[in-house]
Each structure stands twice: as structure tokens, then as C-alpha cells.
Amino acid sequence: MLDNENTVCGYVAIVGRPNVGKSTLLNHMLGQKLSITSRKPQTTRHRVLGVKTIGETQFIYVDTPGIHFEEGKALNRYMNKEARLALKEVDVVVFVIDGLKWTEEDQLVFELVKNSNSPVILAVNKIDLLDDKADLLPYLQSFASQFNFFDIIPISAKRRLNIFALEKAIAECLPKSPHYFPKDQLTDRTMRFRIAEIIREKLVRILGQELPYTTTVEIEALQKETKNSVMKISAIIWVEREGQKPIVIGKNGERLKKIGARSRVDIEILIKQKVHLRLWVKVKRGWSDDERAMKSLGYIDLEAGD
């Protein structure tokens, strides 16, 4: 790891309400896919660390679940806590909003951001979708009058517009520091976690609105066969009720086959070898509102300290 008087390194929290494009932004900042994405709100459930090293500068991005009002279930409380924790002890906060669409949940995030001790950059995303760009300037001016942002930058994460300008502004906020990670390291997440997230992404995309929040994925086994260099992966898709199993499996197993086929493509790209993927659908009743069940499925203990 690089360590000299010129090295710069710091943590960058990417925060916002659900579905504003935080994970898409992180992936384009890194230049490769790390966080899963979909059009469904609350696809991101965990804080995901993405590391990017350019010469003497190391960015440690923290993608977060969208901060939202609904905290009825343990899973919702977990996601909100993950996002709130990311605001603590970071060097920069990137507050992402969706164009000119301002909601009560944006205001909720804004109130949290204003209490941060770190410089805050406002990233106004999806500007490519604006009908009239002339509306943007007074909108940005109104934000500038409400809070002392380090910078306000209109972007399109999907189209990669102004991503370099955003990265440049972030770099200006990072402290002089040794690099915390090797220059070729992308994340602190395990391969099991990343494979499970790929499968969950396909679930969310293929199931649509049928089972948006009641599924999770657990990797049961990873085993490499040396003879033919194939990785054998066994994974369990957990649902909350018996009646949800046929929805995931589909008629004659067609939906589960589609989930497996699409997952396998991305997993092979990730691990750079052939994959034999086996999926099972099982029931763990009410797991998303059971803290003990969530912990067994890899979610951090909600009772841990702040």
C-alpha cells in the first residue's frame, strides 16, 4: 500500500432516498459493476465498500441503502441503520437526489446530511431526463441558499455525464493519508456476498412487483473442480411463506431457470471461469421481521452499537 507525504485517501458516503441512482453512480465511478441495480426501490440492503485508486489518490466509496420512512420491519430498520452509520466518520458525503423530484424522504436525508461534520457535495442525478434544462439553474440556486454545500454538481450516472467533475470535487475534500487498501483491491466484500447479490439482483428484476422485499439469497457452497476448472455453486433463495415458492419457481420451473441462467452469466464474468449453479427455493417464515433469522442470513446484528 502506498504511503508517502503526497498520498491522499478517504471514505466517501453516497447517500439519498431509495431509487435515486446511488448504486449506478458507484458502479460508474469504479469503472466496473460492484453494487447490484434495478428499478425497484430498496434494492441495495447493505453498505457496500468500493475502492478506487488513481496514482496517489485512493477513494473509498460507501454505497448505502436508500433512507426511507417505513421502519416497521426489522429489514427496513436494518437498511436505515446501515445508511445512517455511513454518515458517521467519513471524509466526504455525496448527497444524491433525482433531478427536480423532491420528496419528503429527500428532506429526511437532507436533515441528516446537514448534521454531518464532513463536507457535503450535492449530486443532482438524472439530468438527462429533464424536459427543460432551464429549470435546473434556479433549482440549484435554491439549494445553495439553504446549505453550505462544498459543491453542487448536476450529473447523469446512467449516461456518465459530469462524473469526472464529481470525482474531482470529491478528491479536493480527501485528507492526506496513507492508502488503506492495496491499489488493485475493489471491495472489502467476500466473493460469497457478491455472488449472492448477483442472484438477488436477477430475482428482483425478474420477479418485478410480485415479491419485491420478501426474498434473500444464501450461498450454501462454493466448490472448484480442478479437472474441468468449473466452480460449483449451491445457493438457497429464501422466501417467507409456502405460497411464495411457486412464484419464484414459475410454471415448470421456467422462472427459476431464467434466474439461474442470467445469474450464471454475471457470476462467470466476476470469477472468470465456468460456473455450475444450483438453486433451491426454501421457506424461512417471516425472516425479514426476525432479527435472529436476519443475522443467520448474513445481516449484521441490529442490536450492535451505533
Both 142 and 72 in one domain: the answer is yes
Whether pTM > 0.85 for this model: the answer is yes
Helix (H) or strand (E) holding 52: strand 48-54
Both 228 and 159 in one domain: the answer is no
**32 lies in some domain:** yes
**2 lies in some domain:** no
Give CA–CA dist 77/274, Å, rounded.
Answer: 38
Both 120 and 240 in one domain: the answer is no
Both 222 and 267 in one domain: the answer is yes
**179 lies in some domain:** no
Both 168 and 197 in one domain: the answer is no
**303 lies in some domain:** no
Both 23 and 164 in one domain: the answer is yes
- Crossing angle, helix 22-30 and helix 163-173, to 10 degrees? 80
**3 lies in some domain:** no
Say if residues 44 and 22 touch (Cβ distance below 8 Å). Answer: yes
**301 lies in some domain:** no
Both 14 and 158 in one domain: the answer is yes
Q: Which of 113, 145, 173 is the last residue of a domain?
A: 173
Residue-wise over 276-305: b if at least 16 C-beta within 10 A, else e?
Answer: ebebebeebeebbebbebbbebebeeeeee
Question: Residues near 73 by Cβ (< 8 Å), separated by ≥ 6?
Answer: 288, 289
Give CA–CA dist 260/199, Å, rounded.
Answer: 8
**186 lies in some domain:** no
Torsion angle in degrees (nearest 10) through CA of 279, 280, 283, 287? -30
Residue whose C-alpha cell is 425497484: 40
Both 146 and 234 in one domain: the answer is no
Helix (H, G, I), strand (E, B) or coil at 242: helix
Give CA–CA dist 185/181, Å, rounded.
Answer: 6
Say if residues 120 and 153 touch (Cβ distance below 8 Å). Answer: no
**256 lies in some domain:** yes
pLDDT of residue 9: 97
For residue 230, give the CATH number of its domain: 3.30.300.20
Q: Which of 105, 140, 173 is the last residue of a domain?
A: 173
Closest CA to 18 of 67, 86, 54: 67
Q: Which long-range contacts (CB under 8 A, 24 or more apart) does 26-33 make?
A: 26/50, 26/61, 26/63, 28/157, 28/160, 28/163, 29/59, 29/61, 29/163, 29/166, 29/167, 30/61, 30/186, 32/186, 33/266
Query: Domain count of the chain?
Result: 2
The boundaries of the domain holding residue 212 are 191-296
Question: Residues near 212 by Cβ (< 8 Å), separated by ≥ 6?
Answer: 40, 42, 204
Both 169 and 195 in one domain: the answer is no
- Crossing angle, helix 254-271 and helix 191-207, to 10 degrees? 140
Enter the C-alpha cell of residue 128: 438527462
pLDDT of residue 306: 38
Both 150 and 34 in one domain: the answer is yes
Residue whose C-alpha cell is 417505513: 70
Helix (H) or strand (E) holding 29: helix 22-30
Give CA–CA dist 6/174, Å, rounded.
Answer: 12
Both 141 and 207 in one domain: the answer is no
Q: How many CB atoms lie under 10 A from the CB of residue 56?
A: 14
Both 24 and 120 in one domain: the answer is yes
Q: Provide block-wise average pLDDT over 10 residues at a time, the chain (306 residues).
A: 82 92 93 86 82 96 82 79 83 94 92 92 93 85 92 94 97 96 94 95 88 84 80 96 94 96 96 95 92 84 43
- Measured in whole angstroms, how far is the alpha carbon of residue 274 from the centre of its chain? 26
Q: Which of 123, 140, 173 is the last residue of a domain?
A: 173
pLDDT of residue 71: 67
For residue 120, give the CATH number of its domain: 3.40.50.300
